[in-house]
A and B are shown apart, each in its own frame.
Chain A
Amino acid sequence: MTLTHSKVSNWQNFLAKSQRKISVGLLTIVLLIFTLVVIVPFIWMLLMSFRTTGEILSDPYGLPKTLDLTNYIKLMFDPEIHFYTYFVNSIHVTLFSLILTVALSTLGGYGFGRSRYEFKFRGWLFALLLFALMLPPQIMYLPQFTMMGKYGLLNTRWSLVLLYTASALPVSTYLMATYFSQLPSELEDAARIDGCTDLGMFWRVMLPLTRPAIATVVLINFLNFWNELLLAITMVTNPEMRTLPAAMMMFVGEHGSDYAIAAASLVTAMLPVLVLYLFLSDKFIEGLTAGALKG
Protein backbone atom coordinates (compact mmCIF):
# COMPACT_ATOMS: atom_id res chain seq x y z
CA MET A 1 0.00 0.00 0.00
CA THR A 2 2.68 2.47 1.01
CA LEU A 3 4.60 1.74 -2.17
CA THR A 4 1.74 2.59 -4.49
CA HIS A 5 0.97 5.67 -2.47
CA SER A 6 4.43 7.06 -2.86
CA LYS A 7 4.15 6.71 -6.61
CA VAL A 8 1.05 8.86 -6.76
CA SER A 9 1.98 12.50 -7.20
CA ASN A 10 0.99 14.91 -4.48
CA TRP A 11 -1.44 16.67 -6.75
CA GLN A 12 -3.35 13.51 -7.59
CA ASN A 13 -3.30 12.60 -3.95
CA PHE A 14 -4.85 15.93 -3.06
CA LEU A 15 -7.57 15.50 -5.72
CA ALA A 16 -8.45 12.02 -4.52
CA LYS A 17 -8.62 13.17 -0.95
CA SER A 18 -10.84 16.15 -1.64
CA GLN A 19 -13.07 14.04 -3.86
CA ARG A 20 -13.45 11.61 -1.01
CA LYS A 21 -14.24 14.44 1.37
CA ILE A 22 -16.93 15.78 -0.95
CA SER A 23 -18.60 12.41 -1.37
CA VAL A 24 -18.54 11.77 2.37
CA GLY A 25 -20.06 15.23 2.86
CA LEU A 26 -22.80 14.56 0.33
CA LEU A 27 -23.54 11.23 1.91
CA THR A 28 -23.79 12.85 5.33
CA ILE A 29 -26.24 15.43 4.00
CA VAL A 30 -28.43 12.71 2.49
CA LEU A 31 -28.36 10.71 5.71
CA LEU A 32 -29.16 13.77 7.80
CA ILE A 33 -32.19 14.56 5.64
CA PHE A 34 -33.31 10.96 6.00
CA THR A 35 -32.83 11.17 9.76
CA LEU A 36 -34.79 14.42 9.81
CA VAL A 37 -37.76 12.62 8.24
CA VAL A 38 -37.45 10.02 10.99
CA ILE A 39 -37.34 12.54 13.82
CA VAL A 40 -39.59 15.37 12.61
CA PRO A 41 -42.88 13.68 13.60
CA PHE A 42 -41.63 13.46 17.18
CA ILE A 43 -40.52 17.06 17.29
CA TRP A 44 -43.71 18.29 15.67
CA MET A 45 -45.80 16.34 18.18
CA LEU A 46 -43.83 17.84 21.02
CA LEU A 47 -44.21 21.38 19.66
CA MET A 48 -47.93 20.90 19.11
CA SER A 49 -48.39 19.83 22.70
CA PHE A 50 -47.21 23.25 23.91
CA ARG A 51 -49.53 25.27 21.67
CA THR A 52 -53.25 25.76 21.30
CA THR A 53 -55.39 24.13 18.63
CA GLY A 54 -56.13 27.53 17.13
CA GLU A 55 -52.44 28.27 16.70
CA ILE A 56 -51.79 24.85 15.18
CA LEU A 57 -54.52 25.23 12.60
CA SER A 58 -53.50 28.72 11.54
CA ASP A 59 -49.77 28.03 11.43
CA PRO A 60 -48.77 24.36 11.57
CA TYR A 61 -45.06 25.22 11.70
CA GLY A 62 -44.95 27.83 14.40
CA LEU A 63 -42.92 27.42 17.53
CA PRO A 64 -44.66 27.61 20.87
CA LYS A 65 -44.60 31.21 22.08
CA THR A 66 -43.89 30.27 25.66
CA LEU A 67 -43.29 27.01 27.43
CA ASP A 68 -46.98 26.66 28.09
CA LEU A 69 -47.95 23.62 30.13
CA THR A 70 -51.71 24.31 29.99
CA ASN A 71 -52.37 21.29 27.80
CA TYR A 72 -50.58 18.95 30.17
CA ILE A 73 -52.25 20.39 33.24
CA LYS A 74 -55.66 20.09 31.60
CA LEU A 75 -54.84 16.55 30.52
CA MET A 76 -53.92 15.49 34.02
CA PHE A 77 -56.55 17.25 36.05
CA ASP A 78 -59.59 17.77 33.84
CA PRO A 79 -62.08 15.22 35.24
CA GLU A 80 -63.80 14.93 31.87
CA ILE A 81 -60.70 13.58 30.19
CA HIS A 82 -59.96 10.68 32.57
CA PHE A 83 -56.41 10.52 31.31
CA TYR A 84 -55.17 9.57 34.74
CA THR A 85 -57.48 6.51 34.80
CA TYR A 86 -56.15 5.29 31.46
CA PHE A 87 -52.57 5.75 32.53
CA VAL A 88 -53.16 3.72 35.68
CA ASN A 89 -54.97 1.04 33.67
CA SER A 90 -52.01 0.75 31.31
CA ILE A 91 -49.58 0.49 34.19
CA HIS A 92 -51.75 -2.13 35.86
CA VAL A 93 -52.09 -4.29 32.76
CA THR A 94 -48.42 -3.96 31.79
CA LEU A 95 -47.11 -4.65 35.27
CA PHE A 96 -49.19 -7.74 36.00
CA SER A 97 -48.63 -9.16 32.52
CA LEU A 98 -44.90 -8.73 33.02
CA ILE A 99 -44.93 -10.46 36.40
CA LEU A 100 -46.93 -13.38 35.06
CA THR A 101 -44.80 -13.63 31.93
CA VAL A 102 -41.54 -13.65 33.85
CA ALA A 103 -42.82 -16.21 36.36
CA LEU A 104 -44.10 -18.64 33.73
CA SER A 105 -41.29 -18.20 31.22
CA THR A 106 -38.45 -18.64 33.73
CA LEU A 107 -40.02 -21.83 35.07
CA GLY A 108 -40.71 -23.10 31.57
CA GLY A 109 -37.34 -21.98 30.28
CA TYR A 110 -35.64 -23.92 33.04
CA GLY A 111 -37.65 -27.05 32.28
CA PHE A 112 -37.09 -26.79 28.54
CA GLY A 113 -33.49 -25.60 28.70
CA ARG A 114 -31.75 -28.04 31.05
CA SER A 115 -30.66 -31.44 29.79
CA ARG A 116 -31.50 -32.84 33.23
CA TYR A 117 -35.20 -32.59 32.44
CA GLU A 118 -35.04 -34.16 29.00
CA PHE A 119 -37.92 -36.48 28.21
CA LYS A 120 -39.30 -38.10 25.12
CA PHE A 121 -41.69 -35.48 23.83
CA ARG A 122 -39.95 -32.41 25.16
CA GLY A 123 -38.59 -31.27 21.80
CA TRP A 124 -41.99 -31.80 20.30
CA LEU A 125 -43.70 -29.76 23.01
CA PHE A 126 -41.18 -26.98 22.63
CA ALA A 127 -41.79 -26.87 18.88
CA LEU A 128 -45.51 -26.66 19.57
CA LEU A 129 -44.89 -23.68 21.81
CA LEU A 130 -42.73 -21.93 19.21
CA PHE A 131 -45.31 -22.59 16.53
CA ALA A 132 -47.24 -19.67 18.02
CA LEU A 133 -44.61 -17.25 16.71
CA MET A 134 -46.14 -17.78 13.27
CA LEU A 135 -49.70 -17.07 14.36
CA PRO A 136 -51.25 -13.72 13.49
CA PRO A 137 -53.49 -12.47 16.33
CA GLN A 138 -56.49 -12.58 13.99
CA ILE A 139 -56.46 -16.38 14.03
CA MET A 140 -57.08 -16.43 17.79
CA TYR A 141 -58.78 -13.31 19.01
CA LEU A 142 -62.42 -14.04 18.18
CA PRO A 143 -62.60 -17.20 20.36
CA GLN A 144 -60.51 -15.36 22.94
CA PHE A 145 -63.26 -12.77 22.96
CA THR A 146 -66.08 -15.31 23.43
CA MET A 147 -64.00 -17.12 26.04
CA MET A 148 -63.53 -13.96 28.07
CA GLY A 149 -67.25 -13.31 27.71
CA LYS A 150 -68.05 -16.78 29.01
CA TYR A 151 -65.97 -16.30 32.14
CA GLY A 152 -67.19 -12.76 32.74
CA LEU A 153 -63.79 -11.22 32.12
CA LEU A 154 -64.76 -8.85 29.34
CA ASN A 155 -64.23 -5.22 30.32
CA THR A 156 -61.75 -6.18 33.01
CA ARG A 157 -58.04 -5.54 33.05
CA TRP A 158 -57.47 -9.23 33.79
CA SER A 159 -58.64 -10.28 30.34
CA LEU A 160 -55.78 -8.27 28.89
CA VAL A 161 -53.29 -9.52 31.47
CA LEU A 162 -54.08 -13.14 30.62
CA LEU A 163 -54.04 -12.68 26.86
CA TYR A 164 -50.93 -10.50 26.79
CA THR A 165 -49.08 -13.07 28.88
CA ALA A 166 -50.18 -15.85 26.54
CA SER A 167 -48.95 -13.90 23.53
CA ALA A 168 -45.59 -13.25 25.18
CA LEU A 169 -44.88 -16.79 26.41
CA PRO A 170 -43.41 -18.40 23.27
CA VAL A 171 -40.61 -15.91 22.65
CA SER A 172 -39.96 -15.35 26.37
CA THR A 173 -39.73 -19.04 27.19
CA TYR A 174 -37.47 -19.50 24.20
CA LEU A 175 -35.10 -16.76 25.35
CA MET A 176 -35.03 -18.13 28.89
CA ALA A 177 -34.50 -21.71 27.69
CA THR A 178 -31.52 -20.76 25.52
CA TYR A 179 -30.00 -18.82 28.39
CA PHE A 180 -30.56 -21.59 30.94
CA SER A 181 -29.11 -24.19 28.57
CA GLN A 182 -25.81 -22.30 28.46
CA LEU A 183 -25.22 -22.45 32.22
CA PRO A 184 -22.73 -25.17 33.29
CA SER A 185 -24.26 -28.29 34.80
CA GLU A 186 -21.58 -28.34 37.54
CA LEU A 187 -23.68 -25.72 39.30
CA GLU A 188 -26.60 -28.08 39.51
CA ASP A 189 -24.41 -30.94 40.65
CA ALA A 190 -22.89 -28.85 43.42
CA ALA A 191 -26.28 -27.65 44.58
CA ARG A 192 -27.56 -31.20 44.59
CA ILE A 193 -24.74 -32.41 46.74
CA ASP A 194 -25.58 -29.61 49.16
CA GLY A 195 -29.03 -31.14 49.40
CA CYS A 196 -30.95 -28.70 47.24
CA THR A 197 -34.29 -29.75 45.80
CA ASP A 198 -35.00 -29.06 42.13
CA LEU A 199 -37.06 -26.02 42.98
CA GLY A 200 -34.37 -24.74 45.37
CA MET A 201 -31.79 -25.27 42.67
CA PHE A 202 -33.86 -23.24 40.26
CA TRP A 203 -34.70 -20.47 42.70
CA ARG A 204 -31.44 -20.03 44.60
CA VAL A 205 -28.72 -21.08 42.16
CA MET A 206 -29.84 -20.79 38.57
CA LEU A 207 -32.43 -18.00 38.48
CA PRO A 208 -30.12 -15.30 39.89
CA LEU A 209 -27.67 -16.05 37.10
CA THR A 210 -30.19 -15.31 34.38
CA ARG A 211 -30.76 -11.66 35.23
CA PRO A 212 -29.62 -10.38 31.81
CA ALA A 213 -32.08 -12.70 30.06
CA ILE A 214 -34.89 -11.65 32.39
CA ALA A 215 -34.08 -8.02 31.64
CA THR A 216 -34.39 -8.74 27.92
CA VAL A 217 -37.72 -10.51 28.41
CA VAL A 218 -39.03 -7.59 30.46
CA LEU A 219 -37.92 -4.94 27.97
CA ILE A 220 -39.34 -6.50 24.81
CA ASN A 221 -42.61 -7.39 26.47
CA PHE A 222 -42.93 -4.03 28.17
CA LEU A 223 -42.98 -2.43 24.72
CA ASN A 224 -45.57 -4.83 23.35
CA PHE A 225 -47.87 -4.65 26.36
CA TRP A 226 -47.70 -0.88 26.66
CA ASN A 227 -48.43 -0.34 22.97
CA GLU A 228 -51.00 -3.05 22.19
CA LEU A 229 -54.28 -1.99 20.56
CA LEU A 230 -56.19 -4.84 18.89
CA LEU A 231 -56.98 -6.84 22.03
CA ALA A 232 -57.31 -3.65 24.05
CA ILE A 233 -60.23 -2.38 21.96
CA THR A 234 -61.76 -5.83 21.53
CA MET A 235 -61.80 -7.07 25.12
CA VAL A 236 -62.45 -3.72 26.77
CA THR A 237 -65.22 -1.41 25.66
CA ASN A 238 -66.04 0.14 29.01
CA PRO A 239 -64.38 3.60 28.97
CA GLU A 240 -63.19 3.29 32.55
CA MET A 241 -61.15 0.16 31.86
CA ARG A 242 -59.44 1.37 28.69
CA THR A 243 -55.68 1.30 28.37
CA LEU A 244 -53.77 4.24 26.91
CA PRO A 245 -53.59 3.17 23.24
CA ALA A 246 -57.32 2.41 23.16
CA ALA A 247 -58.12 5.60 25.04
CA MET A 248 -56.03 7.80 22.77
CA MET A 249 -57.87 6.48 19.75
CA MET A 250 -61.27 7.18 21.23
CA PHE A 251 -59.95 10.37 22.73
CA VAL A 252 -59.07 11.85 19.38
CA GLY A 253 -62.43 10.77 18.04
CA GLU A 254 -64.39 12.29 20.90
CA HIS A 255 -62.34 15.43 21.35
CA GLY A 256 -61.41 15.39 17.67
CA SER A 257 -60.99 19.09 17.29
CA ASP A 258 -58.70 19.60 20.26
CA TYR A 259 -55.45 18.59 18.63
CA ALA A 260 -53.30 20.31 21.21
CA ILE A 261 -54.61 18.20 24.08
CA ALA A 262 -54.40 15.10 21.91
CA ALA A 263 -50.75 15.85 21.15
CA ALA A 264 -50.04 16.27 24.84
CA SER A 265 -51.63 12.88 25.51
CA LEU A 266 -49.47 11.23 22.85
CA VAL A 267 -46.32 12.73 24.33
CA THR A 268 -47.30 11.62 27.82
CA ALA A 269 -48.08 8.07 26.66
CA MET A 270 -44.76 7.87 24.85
CA LEU A 271 -42.72 9.33 27.67
CA PRO A 272 -42.15 6.24 29.84
CA VAL A 273 -40.74 4.33 26.87
CA LEU A 274 -38.63 7.19 25.57
CA VAL A 275 -37.13 7.96 28.99
CA LEU A 276 -36.18 4.31 29.41
CA TYR A 277 -34.77 4.29 25.90
CA LEU A 278 -32.61 7.34 26.58
CA PHE A 279 -30.95 5.56 29.48
CA LEU A 280 -30.96 2.01 28.14
CA SER A 281 -30.81 2.41 24.36
CA ASP A 282 -28.15 -0.27 23.95
CA LYS A 283 -30.02 -2.70 26.15
CA PHE A 284 -33.23 -2.08 24.15
CA ILE A 285 -31.54 -2.61 20.83
CA GLU A 286 -29.75 -5.70 22.09
CA GLY A 287 -32.94 -7.13 23.61
CA LEU A 288 -35.08 -6.63 20.53
CA THR A 289 -32.35 -8.08 18.35
CA ALA A 290 -32.09 -11.16 20.56
CA GLY A 291 -35.86 -11.57 20.53
CA ALA A 292 -35.93 -11.68 16.75
CA LEU A 293 -32.75 -13.48 15.82
CA LYS A 294 -33.25 -16.23 18.34
CA GLY A 295 -37.01 -16.43 18.15
Chain B
Amino acid sequence: MSQIAIHQEGQQNLRIQARKGKRKPLGPIILFIAPVMIFYAAFVLYPLIATLYYSVHTVEPVQGKLVTTFVGLENFKSLLSDDIFFLSVKNTLLWAIAGPVVEMLTATTLAFLVYFKTPLHRFYRVAWFTPMLVSGVIVGLVFRWIFNYDWGLLNSTLRAIGLDQFALNWLGRRDTPIWVVIFVHYWATFGYSFILLLAGLTAIPEELLDAAKVDGANTLQAVWRVMLPLLRPTFLTVLILSFMGKMRAFHVVWVLTSGGPMHFSETVATYVQKRAFGWRTLDLGYPSAIAVFWFGVVMIGVALLNRWLRSRMD
Protein backbone atom coordinates (compact mmCIF):
# COMPACT_ATOMS: atom_id res chain seq x y z
CA MET B 1 0.00 0.00 0.00
CA SER B 2 2.57 2.51 1.06
CA GLN B 3 4.58 1.86 -2.06
CA ILE B 4 1.60 2.62 -4.20
CA ALA B 5 0.98 5.76 -2.22
CA ILE B 6 4.54 6.92 -2.74
CA HIS B 7 4.29 6.07 -6.39
CA GLN B 8 1.15 8.11 -6.77
CA GLU B 9 2.65 10.99 -4.87
CA GLY B 10 5.69 10.89 -7.07
CA GLN B 11 3.52 10.90 -10.16
CA GLN B 12 1.60 13.86 -8.87
CA ASN B 13 4.78 15.75 -8.14
CA LEU B 14 6.03 15.09 -11.61
CA ARG B 15 2.83 16.29 -13.12
CA ILE B 16 2.84 19.43 -11.04
CA GLN B 17 6.38 20.06 -12.12
CA ALA B 18 5.45 19.63 -15.73
CA ARG B 19 2.46 21.93 -15.46
CA LYS B 20 4.14 24.69 -13.57
CA GLY B 21 7.13 24.29 -15.85
CA LYS B 22 9.48 25.14 -13.01
CA ARG B 23 12.28 22.99 -14.35
CA LYS B 24 12.09 23.35 -18.08
CA PRO B 25 13.88 20.48 -19.81
CA LEU B 26 15.83 22.86 -22.00
CA GLY B 27 18.21 20.26 -23.41
CA PRO B 28 15.45 17.95 -24.71
CA ILE B 29 13.48 20.92 -26.06
CA ILE B 30 16.44 21.92 -28.19
CA LEU B 31 17.08 18.32 -29.17
CA PHE B 32 13.52 17.82 -30.43
CA ILE B 33 12.64 21.16 -31.94
CA ALA B 34 15.93 22.53 -33.24
CA PRO B 35 16.49 20.07 -36.12
CA VAL B 36 13.13 20.85 -37.74
CA MET B 37 13.40 24.56 -37.25
CA ILE B 38 16.99 24.78 -38.50
CA PHE B 39 16.11 22.75 -41.58
CA TYR B 40 13.04 24.88 -42.11
CA ALA B 41 14.94 28.13 -41.69
CA ALA B 42 17.65 27.06 -44.11
CA PHE B 43 15.50 25.68 -46.92
CA VAL B 44 12.23 27.59 -46.59
CA LEU B 45 12.57 30.85 -44.64
CA TYR B 46 15.91 31.86 -46.09
CA PRO B 47 14.78 31.30 -49.72
CA LEU B 48 11.54 33.16 -48.97
CA ILE B 49 13.44 36.21 -47.72
CA ALA B 50 15.96 35.89 -50.54
CA THR B 51 13.14 36.02 -53.08
CA LEU B 52 11.99 39.31 -51.55
CA TYR B 53 15.57 40.53 -51.80
CA TYR B 54 15.95 39.33 -55.40
CA SER B 55 12.75 41.08 -56.42
CA VAL B 56 14.36 44.51 -56.02
CA HIS B 57 17.61 43.47 -57.71
CA THR B 58 18.83 42.07 -60.94
CA VAL B 59 20.44 38.73 -60.25
CA GLU B 60 22.72 37.59 -63.03
CA PRO B 61 25.52 35.10 -63.29
CA VAL B 62 28.77 36.73 -64.44
CA GLN B 63 31.66 34.33 -65.01
CA GLY B 64 30.19 31.70 -62.77
CA LYS B 65 29.39 34.10 -59.94
CA LEU B 66 26.04 35.54 -59.04
CA VAL B 67 26.04 39.34 -59.26
CA THR B 68 23.17 41.25 -57.69
CA THR B 69 22.56 44.89 -58.56
CA PHE B 70 20.01 46.97 -56.70
CA VAL B 71 17.33 48.35 -59.01
CA GLY B 72 14.64 49.44 -56.57
CA LEU B 73 11.11 48.91 -57.83
CA GLU B 74 12.24 48.74 -61.45
CA ASN B 75 11.19 45.06 -61.77
CA PHE B 76 7.70 45.81 -60.50
CA LYS B 77 7.40 48.76 -62.86
CA SER B 78 8.30 46.55 -65.80
CA LEU B 79 5.56 44.15 -64.74
CA LEU B 80 2.99 46.85 -65.47
CA SER B 81 3.98 47.01 -69.12
CA ASP B 82 4.42 43.28 -69.61
CA ASP B 83 1.56 42.02 -71.77
CA ILE B 84 2.42 38.36 -71.32
CA PHE B 85 2.36 38.86 -67.56
CA PHE B 86 -1.13 40.35 -67.77
CA LEU B 87 -2.29 37.50 -69.95
CA SER B 88 -0.94 34.97 -67.45
CA VAL B 89 -2.62 36.78 -64.54
CA LYS B 90 -5.90 36.83 -66.45
CA ASN B 91 -5.66 33.11 -67.22
CA THR B 92 -4.69 32.11 -63.70
CA LEU B 93 -7.45 34.19 -62.10
CA LEU B 94 -10.02 32.78 -64.52
CA TRP B 95 -8.84 29.32 -63.55
CA ALA B 96 -8.71 30.01 -59.81
CA ILE B 97 -12.29 31.32 -59.85
CA ALA B 98 -13.98 28.98 -62.34
CA GLY B 99 -12.12 25.88 -61.10
CA PRO B 100 -13.10 25.95 -57.41
CA VAL B 101 -16.72 26.91 -58.18
CA VAL B 102 -17.27 23.97 -60.53
CA GLU B 103 -15.34 21.69 -58.22
CA MET B 104 -17.37 22.66 -55.16
CA LEU B 105 -20.72 22.24 -56.90
CA THR B 106 -19.98 18.83 -58.39
CA ALA B 107 -17.95 17.48 -55.50
CA THR B 108 -20.66 18.42 -52.99
CA THR B 109 -23.36 16.75 -55.09
CA LEU B 110 -21.25 13.63 -55.50
CA ALA B 111 -20.36 13.55 -51.80
CA PHE B 112 -24.06 13.65 -50.86
CA LEU B 113 -24.89 10.88 -53.32
CA VAL B 114 -22.21 8.64 -51.87
CA TYR B 115 -23.16 9.62 -48.33
CA PHE B 116 -26.74 8.48 -48.95
CA LYS B 117 -25.37 5.21 -50.36
CA THR B 118 -26.39 5.48 -53.98
CA PRO B 119 -25.92 2.09 -55.70
CA LEU B 120 -22.20 1.30 -56.31
CA HIS B 121 -21.08 4.00 -53.86
CA ARG B 122 -18.06 2.03 -52.67
CA PHE B 123 -16.79 1.66 -56.21
CA TYR B 124 -17.27 5.36 -56.97
CA ARG B 125 -15.38 6.39 -53.87
CA VAL B 126 -12.28 4.46 -54.89
CA ALA B 127 -12.55 5.26 -58.62
CA TRP B 128 -13.05 9.01 -58.30
CA PHE B 129 -10.10 9.38 -56.03
CA THR B 130 -7.68 7.59 -58.36
CA PRO B 131 -6.68 10.61 -60.53
CA MET B 132 -5.40 12.29 -57.35
CA LEU B 133 -2.64 9.71 -57.11
CA VAL B 134 -1.19 10.22 -60.54
CA SER B 135 1.61 12.66 -61.25
CA GLY B 136 0.66 15.85 -63.07
CA VAL B 137 3.18 14.80 -65.70
CA ILE B 138 1.30 11.62 -66.51
CA VAL B 139 -2.03 13.45 -66.46
CA GLY B 140 -0.64 16.14 -68.75
CA LEU B 141 0.83 13.70 -71.25
CA VAL B 142 -2.22 11.45 -71.46
CA PHE B 143 -4.51 14.39 -72.01
CA ARG B 144 -2.15 15.89 -74.55
CA TRP B 145 -2.77 12.70 -76.49
CA ILE B 146 -6.50 12.61 -75.80
CA PHE B 147 -6.88 16.16 -77.13
CA ASN B 148 -4.55 15.54 -80.09
CA TYR B 149 -6.12 16.90 -83.26
CA ASP B 150 -5.32 14.00 -85.61
CA TRP B 151 -5.61 10.84 -83.58
CA GLY B 152 -6.68 11.89 -80.08
CA LEU B 153 -9.42 9.96 -78.35
CA LEU B 154 -11.76 12.96 -78.21
CA ASN B 155 -11.57 13.91 -81.88
CA SER B 156 -11.77 10.30 -83.08
CA THR B 157 -14.91 9.89 -81.00
CA LEU B 158 -16.44 13.08 -82.35
CA ARG B 159 -15.64 12.04 -85.92
CA ALA B 160 -16.99 8.55 -85.36
CA ILE B 161 -20.39 9.91 -84.35
CA GLY B 162 -20.45 12.39 -87.21
CA LEU B 163 -19.71 15.55 -85.25
CA ASP B 164 -16.71 16.43 -87.39
CA GLN B 165 -17.26 20.16 -87.03
CA PHE B 166 -16.64 19.88 -83.29
CA ALA B 167 -13.34 18.05 -83.72
CA LEU B 168 -11.24 21.13 -83.01
CA ASN B 169 -7.52 21.55 -82.69
CA TRP B 170 -8.07 21.83 -78.94
CA LEU B 171 -4.54 22.65 -77.91
CA GLY B 172 -3.61 24.77 -80.91
CA ARG B 173 -6.22 27.53 -80.95
CA ARG B 174 -6.33 30.77 -79.03
CA ASP B 175 -9.57 30.19 -77.14
CA THR B 176 -9.73 26.51 -76.16
CA PRO B 177 -6.35 25.66 -74.53
CA ILE B 178 -6.98 27.39 -71.20
CA TRP B 179 -10.33 25.59 -70.90
CA VAL B 180 -8.66 22.29 -71.66
CA VAL B 181 -6.20 23.06 -68.87
CA ILE B 182 -9.06 23.90 -66.50
CA PHE B 183 -10.89 20.70 -67.42
CA VAL B 184 -7.85 18.46 -67.07
CA HIS B 185 -6.92 19.94 -63.72
CA TYR B 186 -10.52 19.48 -62.62
CA TRP B 187 -10.32 15.85 -63.71
CA ALA B 188 -7.17 15.40 -61.64
CA THR B 189 -8.30 17.15 -58.45
CA PHE B 190 -12.11 16.97 -58.03
CA GLY B 191 -11.69 13.61 -56.27
CA TYR B 192 -9.77 15.27 -53.50
CA SER B 193 -12.48 17.85 -52.82
CA PHE B 194 -15.04 15.05 -53.02
CA ILE B 195 -13.23 12.96 -50.42
CA LEU B 196 -12.78 15.92 -48.07
CA LEU B 197 -16.45 16.86 -48.31
CA LEU B 198 -17.46 13.25 -47.76
CA ALA B 199 -15.29 13.16 -44.65
CA GLY B 200 -16.99 16.36 -43.47
CA LEU B 201 -20.42 14.78 -44.03
CA THR B 202 -19.51 11.59 -42.21
CA ALA B 203 -18.41 13.67 -39.22
CA ILE B 204 -21.92 15.11 -38.80
CA PRO B 205 -23.67 13.18 -36.00
CA GLU B 206 -26.49 11.04 -37.39
CA GLU B 207 -28.74 12.01 -34.49
CA LEU B 208 -29.08 15.47 -35.97
CA LEU B 209 -30.38 14.04 -39.22
CA ASP B 210 -32.75 11.72 -37.36
CA ALA B 211 -33.96 14.59 -35.18
CA ALA B 212 -34.73 16.66 -38.26
CA LYS B 213 -36.72 13.77 -39.71
CA VAL B 214 -38.66 13.32 -36.50
CA ASP B 215 -39.55 16.99 -36.73
CA GLY B 216 -41.13 16.22 -40.10
CA ALA B 217 -38.40 17.28 -42.50
CA ASN B 218 -37.91 15.21 -45.64
CA THR B 219 -34.41 14.27 -46.79
CA LEU B 220 -34.03 17.27 -49.05
CA GLN B 221 -35.00 19.67 -46.28
CA ALA B 222 -32.69 17.93 -43.85
CA VAL B 223 -29.82 18.29 -46.32
CA TRP B 224 -30.58 21.93 -47.00
CA ARG B 225 -31.36 23.12 -43.48
CA VAL B 226 -29.23 20.87 -41.30
CA MET B 227 -26.33 19.31 -43.19
CA LEU B 228 -25.22 22.11 -45.50
CA PRO B 229 -24.89 24.64 -42.66
CA LEU B 230 -22.91 22.14 -40.61
CA LEU B 231 -20.65 21.49 -43.58
CA ARG B 232 -19.48 25.11 -43.81
CA PRO B 233 -16.12 24.66 -42.08
CA THR B 234 -15.33 21.88 -44.58
CA PHE B 235 -16.44 24.14 -47.44
CA LEU B 236 -14.00 26.75 -46.23
CA THR B 237 -11.10 24.28 -46.11
CA VAL B 238 -11.88 22.75 -49.48
CA LEU B 239 -12.43 26.09 -51.17
CA ILE B 240 -9.16 27.53 -49.88
CA LEU B 241 -7.21 24.39 -50.77
CA SER B 242 -8.74 24.30 -54.24
CA PHE B 243 -8.10 28.02 -54.78
CA MET B 244 -4.48 27.80 -53.65
CA GLY B 245 -3.98 24.68 -55.73
CA LYS B 246 -5.04 26.49 -58.90
CA MET B 247 -2.98 29.59 -58.11
CA ARG B 248 0.20 27.55 -57.84
CA ALA B 249 -0.48 24.67 -60.26
CA PHE B 250 2.43 24.00 -62.54
CA HIS B 251 2.75 20.33 -63.56
CA VAL B 252 -0.41 19.92 -65.62
CA VAL B 253 -0.10 23.18 -67.59
CA TRP B 254 3.59 22.75 -68.19
CA VAL B 255 3.17 19.31 -69.69
CA LEU B 256 -0.15 19.90 -71.45
CA THR B 257 0.52 23.20 -73.24
CA SER B 258 3.64 24.81 -71.71
CA GLY B 259 1.54 27.96 -71.69
CA GLY B 260 1.15 27.91 -75.44
CA PRO B 261 0.21 28.44 -78.13
CA MET B 262 1.48 32.04 -78.16
CA HIS B 263 0.94 32.35 -74.37
CA PHE B 264 -2.81 31.80 -74.69
CA SER B 265 -2.75 29.36 -71.80
CA GLU B 266 0.14 30.96 -69.90
CA THR B 267 -0.23 30.94 -66.13
CA VAL B 268 1.83 32.80 -63.58
CA ALA B 269 3.65 29.64 -62.51
CA THR B 270 4.71 28.76 -66.06
CA TYR B 271 5.67 32.34 -66.83
CA VAL B 272 7.96 32.51 -63.79
CA GLN B 273 9.63 29.31 -64.93
CA LYS B 274 10.09 30.64 -68.46
CA ARG B 275 11.49 33.98 -67.34
CA ALA B 276 13.86 32.30 -64.91
CA PHE B 277 15.18 29.42 -66.99
CA GLY B 278 13.50 29.15 -70.35
CA TRP B 279 14.31 32.41 -72.10
CA ARG B 280 17.99 32.53 -71.30
CA THR B 281 17.61 36.07 -70.01
CA LEU B 282 19.56 34.75 -67.01
CA ASP B 283 18.07 37.34 -64.67
CA LEU B 284 16.41 35.87 -61.57
CA GLY B 285 15.33 39.30 -60.28
CA TYR B 286 12.39 39.79 -62.61
CA PRO B 287 10.81 36.34 -62.07
CA SER B 288 11.27 36.88 -58.32
CA ALA B 289 9.28 40.09 -58.60
CA ILE B 290 6.50 38.15 -60.37
CA ALA B 291 6.55 35.54 -57.59
CA VAL B 292 6.42 38.19 -54.85
CA PHE B 293 3.54 39.99 -56.53
CA TRP B 294 1.72 36.71 -57.02
CA PHE B 295 2.26 35.62 -53.44
CA GLY B 296 0.60 38.88 -52.37
CA VAL B 297 -2.38 38.10 -54.60
CA VAL B 298 -2.69 34.57 -53.15
CA MET B 299 -2.59 35.90 -49.58
CA ILE B 300 -5.24 38.52 -50.32
CA GLY B 301 -7.39 35.92 -52.05
CA VAL B 302 -7.18 33.52 -49.12
CA ALA B 303 -7.91 36.31 -46.63
CA LEU B 304 -10.95 37.43 -48.62
CA LEU B 305 -12.30 33.89 -48.96
CA ASN B 306 -11.76 33.36 -45.27
CA ARG B 307 -13.58 36.56 -44.31
CA TRP B 308 -16.40 36.07 -46.75
CA LEU B 309 -17.13 32.51 -45.67
CA ARG B 310 -16.72 33.22 -41.97
CA SER B 311 -19.09 36.16 -42.13
CA ARG B 312 -21.65 33.88 -43.77
CA MET B 313 -21.17 31.31 -41.06
CA ASP B 314 -22.37 33.54 -38.24
Contact = CB atoms under 8 A, between A and B. Distances in A.
Given A111-B33, A285-B125, A139 B39 contact: no
A138 B291 contact: yes
A60 B132 CA distance: 25
A41 B299 CA distance: 35
A132 B45 CA distance: 8
Contacts of B250: 137-138, 229-230
A105 interface: yes
A205 interface: no
B130 A277 contact: yes
A116 B135 CA distance: 41
B51 A143 contact: yes
Interface of A is mostly: helix
Given A27-B118, A142-B288, A293-B199, A60 B138 contact: no
A108 B51 contact: no
A116 B124 contact: no
A132 B51 contact: no
Contacts of A41: 139, 142-143, 146, 187
Given A41-B142, A110-B32, A249-B137, A35 B14 contact: no
Interface residues of A, number: 95
A216 interface: no
A145 B302 CA distance: 27
Interface of B is mostly: helix
A288 B248 contact: no
Interface size class of B (residues with CB under 8 A): 35 or more
Contact of A143 (B50, B244, B295, B299): B50
A69 B37 CA distance: 49
A56 B150 CA distance: 11
17 contacts: A27-B113, A28-B120, A41-B143, A44-B146, A48-B145, A57-B151, A111-B29, A112-B32, A119-B24, A132-B44, A139-B51, A166-B42, A167-B44, A192-B14, A230-B250, A230-B251, A245-B137
Which 10 A-B pairs rank lowest in CB-CB distance, beginning with the nearest?
Answer: A111-B32, A108-B36, A166-B43, A227-B135, A143-B50, A198-B28, A136-B248, A111-B33, A143-B47, A140-B47
Given A57-B150, A142-B276, 12 more contacts: A45-B142, A60-B153, A111-B31, A119-B24, A136-B247, A138-B272, A143-B51, A193-B11, A226-B135, A229-B135, A230-B250, A259-B145
